[in-house]
């Protein structure tokens, strides 16, 4: 399981320096990002340093696909079990597919309006004009070395335990 660490930098220059230190230590580029206020992200951050998604779109879509598929399967099996309805097995598969598609679509729509987990948890830091440095990895020793280096670069580690991911 990946562990995520979040650090607060007073400005974009400090945040970028800390991010580059983490990358130099061995954090993969797709496991490191900067998060800030929209005007900071739009005007001062290169796209490759920004958080991949500012919303909960993909996680919500996946939950919707699974939930909708399960509901569709249950409805299809119930309809198949009722002799008067008499639907074939193919119709059960169709119900499952339609349920997954509708569930995924509806949940993705809802998730697109929900800020990402990091943005929700550290909203006050972001609103105060701080820039967050976010790293994650499975290797705890690498995370510790990177965390020490990021802190030495002028950031403050933010401590928050959320869903077992953030430390």
Kindly report, residue by residue over 75-110, the tens digit of the pLDDT. 888 888 887 777 788 888 888 999 898 888 888 777
61 and 48 part of one domain? no
Q: Is residue 100 part of a domain?
A: yes
pLDDT for 162 equals 45
Tokens 């007073």 locate to 10
Cα 43 from Cα 24, distance rounded (Å): 25
41 and 120 part of one domain? yes
Q: Is residue 79 part of a domain?
A: yes
pLDDT for 138 equals 84
47 and 73 part of one domain? no
Q: Where does the chain have alpha helices with state H?
A: 12-25, 38-44, 57-81, 89-111, 117-121, 123-127, 140-152
pLDDT for 166 equals 40
Q: Is residue 167 part of a domain?
A: no
Boundaries of domain holding 61: 57-111
47 and 120 part of one domain? yes
Which portions of the chain are predicted below pLDDT 50?
Answer: 53-55, 161-167
106 and 127 part of one domain? no
- The total domain count for the chain is 2
């Amino acid at each position: 399981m990946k562990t995520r660490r979040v650090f607060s930098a007073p400005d974009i220059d400090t945040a970028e320096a800390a991010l580059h230190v983490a990358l130099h230590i061995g954090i993969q580029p797709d496991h490191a990002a900067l998060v800030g206020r929209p005007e900071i992200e739009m005007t001062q951050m290169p796209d490759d340093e920004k958080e991949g998604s500012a919303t909960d779109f993909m996680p919500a879509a996946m939950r919707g696909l699974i939930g909708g598929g399960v509901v569709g399967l249950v409805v299809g099996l119930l309809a198949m079990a009722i002799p008067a309805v008499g639907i074939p097995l193919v119709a059960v598969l169709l119900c499952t597919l339609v349920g997954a598609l509708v569930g995924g679509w509806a949940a993705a729509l809802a998730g697109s309006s929900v800020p990402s987990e990091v943005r929700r948890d550290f909203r006050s830091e972001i609103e105060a004009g701080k820039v967050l440095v976010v790293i994650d990895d499975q290797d705890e020793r690498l995370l510790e070395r990177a965390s020490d280096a990021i802190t030495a670069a002028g950031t403050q580690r933010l401590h928050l335990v959320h869903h077992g991911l953030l430390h």
